[in-house]
Structure 1
Amino acid sequence: MAVTKIDLKTTMTYREHAITSKSFARKLGIELPFAMYAMAAGESISAEQSTLTRLFEVIDGTLIVRLADEVDQEVHAGEMLVVPANTVHTLVAEHPCQFIQLETK
């Protein structure tokens, strides 16, 4: 694989009342899921969980990660949140938000 540079700030654009995503796993030749999301204000991704640990790094705005025990974790631009495998969580964007999600063992 060649050295690859990705400009995360210009990769995704916001769409009104929508969530957009782009997977980088195939482009980068990696097996583990690696994707970027842009969520418009008021959008959310319903409760989900993974058998892998999820890392959420916010590029723009603030992402709210609501854990199964109803505890909200605010993740701001430049911060990363690690959610352990098999942890139920919901993603909420009260304001426009861009983030990358990487899953690892």
Structure 2
Amino acid sequence: MGITELKLPEMIQYREHQIASKSLTRKLGIELPFMVYAMDAGESISNEQSTLTRLLQVIDGILTIQVGTVRYQVPAGEMMMVPANTLHELRADQRCQFMQFETK
């Protein structure tokens, strides 16, 4: 497979009152999950966990990640790592786009 250019902000569009997601795993020919998301303000993904470590890179806006009672505000250009088997919630207090890569 050759070099592939990804323009992440253009790959996923915001949808009013929804969460949009797109898997890039097959397109890139990789084994581990790689997704991009666009979350409208007020949307959330709650009580989520994975057997893999998650790397969340914010592309646009601010993503709130809550682990237990601790909230992390992750702005565009920053990344957060969520350890494997950690119950967490993802929330968009304002519109945000982010990519999620899972690794061992």
Q: TM-score range by the shorter chain?
A: over 0.9
Identify unmatched segments of 5+ residues in structure 1.
Answer: none
AA matched with 1:70: T
What is the alpha-carbon root mean square deviation over aligned residues? 0.5
Q: Does 1:93 find its partner at 2:92?
A: yes
Deviations 1:55-86 (A, max 9, x none): 0000000000010x210011100000000001
1:15-74 C-alpha deviation (Å, 9 max, x unpaired): 10000000000000000000000000000001111000000000000000010x210011
Could you tell me the TM-score, scaled by structure 2's length?
Answer: 0.98
Distance (Å, rounded) in 1 between the aligned partners of 2:83 and 2:11: 27
Identity across the alignment (%): 61
Count of aligned pairs between the two proteins: 104
- Give the Cα–Cα distance (whole angstroms) in 2 for the partners of residues 48 and 14 of structure 1: 21
Give the TM-score normalised by structure 1: 0.97
